Structure 1
């Protein structure tokens, strides 16, 4: 009897990352019972640097680089990521081979035990909310100007321990998907969707990265791809890429995919949340009537925003998704929102330089 094919799966070491990796392995095992999977866990820069807010680290891919190096060196065959952590474009030679069905993309509030049952609006003025996300701070401070925000880093486990073991934080803002995957839904106090807050690009989605020339693995991964989530991720990644600000400005999205249409909303904020703009874009996923009218849809690509084309969404749909995100970004950059974006970006870049200087002096 031939031995089972073994796929080596790269993952971060945190409990949440391992849960996500197990979810992917279980789905792949169900689709391919003749294949065996072996987990190779490792730490990334983002895991090691715990005393600096993510926007101040000043690096792209802080949770992906070490995993990608392992792919390039053939130490692993695939790596599992939270899609939110993946840069809009991956290094040449690597692609997202599959995007799994998205869980809730929204943010939620987890209260300190002493504040159980309360919402953010019921917290006393000056209460400290833990988050290092520029997007979360901007959106929530606009709605709740009486609150203060301070960075909190670490695994989901350690952040909840910090919340409960000291009186510094009145509450945390977290991704609902992570809380649910850990089985801690009972800690959810408030869902920010209800306050009109949009979510981070690709939040709630799990992606699997592999080598672009590994056709056998790409075929294997294709079995668990979710069409709707794949198209959402291509659209949202294209939007953030063409805005050109990355993680350095508060940017959020909402994207719906139907059989025939994409509906994308984007929002940009000043760092303090006082200035904002929301724009929307709709697109037909099968726009035959547009052909020959100057709106060419490129279909020769093997990937769109580093997401590989598979059987679940044809090139035409992937191309429309990429174009829709780019067009909405173009509308923002041609509006007054451009100044808001650039001001936020420059302020964040200055904060990065100050942090690097501080760390250099400390050393």
Structure 2
């Protein structure tokens, strides 16, 4: 007989901003979770897994009753921002968002995010310093570096962003975990369709623990119809991937253990998404991810019901299928029900 696991999560987020004066701003945001359920009993390392969003500084606190419940508090944003005319400096835990595309971000070398972690909309941050200087209305130069104990964990890079003929272009270069990295991307339109792409190439330096070179590249098209139908199609090339990755690599991938260098264990990935406003209070859609040379499929349908102006009820499903004897069978399935209250 089939068996399943059930978990319950209360997820609270508190955001604070203090405008000290016209030049200085302090931002502090907390992610607080109370977790009970079956996985706590079957996985003795569940609490340790919650620390993956922590960075150089330990800004989290965990209260754990083994096998019964976990209370996990984390400050995932804590930075001071200084602004003077065209200059902006941020120091502290922050999100350095250099990615462009919606499904995969090869340019997101500081804090890559996983599409499958749908309940973390704010995405993880880095303990870092970033200097941004606006050279024009739609152009800028950024230099950033994160706090690290050694070069194996250090990322430092610069990014140049310009606008040319209604297209946004960016070029980046630097060092990431003892890898020289060079990348770039664009965002624009082909008639009324959005057209985006980005790529990063990693090559190891002397004494690098990981001696493999890697190219991660993605390209995407999206279009919104007048009747609110939204379509998005993307493809990802990951040179270190294979057509048939190991079970362990797949577990890491779907659990969100990725980086800009290793966005997918599959060589080629294809993402297709559709969404529609069925009713002023009902919005839903589905995403499908397939892999060239492999019959594995990921299905991710979702639906959002607006109950009150500040209260939503969401339904998500994450279903993995594999072909066995020319028949697709569900290998893993998870269903999520979420009430979200904004205040």
**Interval of TM-score (by shorter of Structure 1 and Structure 2):** under 0.3
- Which is richer in strand? 2
- Which is richer in helix? 1
TM-score by length of 1: 0.24
TM-score by length of 2: 0.25
